[in-house]
Chains A and B, each alone.
Chain A
Amino acid sequence: MRCGDFKENYRKDEQIFQSIFVKFWLTLFFIFLLIFPFIANHYILYVANMVGFAIIGAIGLNLLTGFTGQISLGHAAFIGVGAYASAILITRLGFPFWLSLPFAGLISAFAGVIIGIPSLRVKGLYLCIATLAAQFIFEFIFVHWESMTKGITGIHIPPPRIGSLEFSTEKEFYWITLFFVVLGVGYARNLVRSKMGRAFVAIRDRDLAAEIIGINLFRYKLSAFAISSFYAGIAGALWVTFLKVITPDHFPFILSIQYLAMIIVGGLGSILGSIFGAIFMTLIPELLNYLSEMVKLYAPGKEEIFIPMKEVIFGLSIVLFLIFEPLGLAEIWNRIKNFFRLWPFSY
Chain B
Amino acid sequence: MDILLQIIVTGLAAGGVYGLIALGFVLIYKATSVLNLAMGEFMTLGAFVCFTALTQLNAPFYLAFALTLFLAFFLGFVIERLILRPLIGEPIISVIMITIGLGLILKGIMYMIWTPSFRTFPKIFPPKPLDIGFAVVPSGLLWGFIFAITAMIIFLIIFKFSRTGVAMRATANDQQAALSMGISVKGVFALSWSFGAIASVIGGIVIGNIIGISVYMGDVGLKVLSVIILGGLDSIGGAILGGFIIGILENLTGLYLDPIIGGGTKEVASFFILVIILMIRPYGLFGKEIIERV
Contact = CB atoms under 8 A, between A and B. Distances in A.
Contacts of B98: 318-319, 322-323
A227 B268 CA distance: 27
Interface in A185-218: 206, 208-209, 212
A125 B94 contact: no
A280 interface: no
Contact of A260 (B87, B97, B111): B97
B93 A308 contact: no
B105 A137 contact: no
A121 B90 CA distance: 23
Interface in A205-235: 206, 208-209, 212
Interface stretch (A1-9, A126-134, A159-167, A291-299): A126-134
Given A121-B282, A140-B264, A143-B264, A319 B274 contact: no
Interface stretch (A31-39, A101-109, A236-244, A309-317): A309-317
Given A118-B275, A118-B279, A136 B268 contact: yes
Interface in A62-103: 65, 69, 71
A319 B275 contact: no
Interface residues of A, number: 46
Nearest to B113: A308
Nearest to A312: B108
Contacts of A308: 107-109, 111-112
B292 interface: yes
Q: How large is the interface on B (under 10, 10 to 19, 20 to 34, 35 or more residues)?
A: 35 or more
A318 B267 contact: no
B96 A71 contact: yes
A305 B279 contact: no
Interface in B96-120: 96-98, 100-109, 111-112
A121 B278 CA distance: 8
B248 to A, nearest CB: 19
Contact of B104 (A69, A71, A318): A318
Of the listed residues B87, B90, B98, the one surrounded by the most CB atoms of chain A closer than 10 A to its CB is: B98
A137 B272 contact: yes
A42 interface: no
B264 A323 contact: no
A72 B138 CA distance: 39
B103 A305 contact: no
A251 to B, nearest CB: 15
Given A121-B278, A136-B222, 18 more contacts: A118-B278, A125-B233, A126-B278, A129-B35, A129-B278, A133-B226, A136-B271, A140-B264, A143-B264, A310-B108, A311-B105, A311-B108, A315-B105, A316-B101, A318-B97, A319-B105, A322-B97, A323-B83
Interface of B: 35, 83, 86-87, 90-94, 96-98, 100-109, 111-112, 222, 225-226, 229, 233, 261-264, 267-268, 271-272, 274-275, 278-279, 282, 292, 294
Interface of A: 65, 69, 71, 117-118, 121-122, 124-126, 128-130, 132-134, 136-137, 140, 143-144, 206, 208-209, 212, 257, 260-261, 264, 268, 305, 307-312, 314-319, 322-323, 326
The 9 closest A-B pairs by CB, nearest first: A315-B104, A318-B101, A312-B108, A308-B111, A315-B105, A308-B108, A133-B271, A311-B108, A140-B268
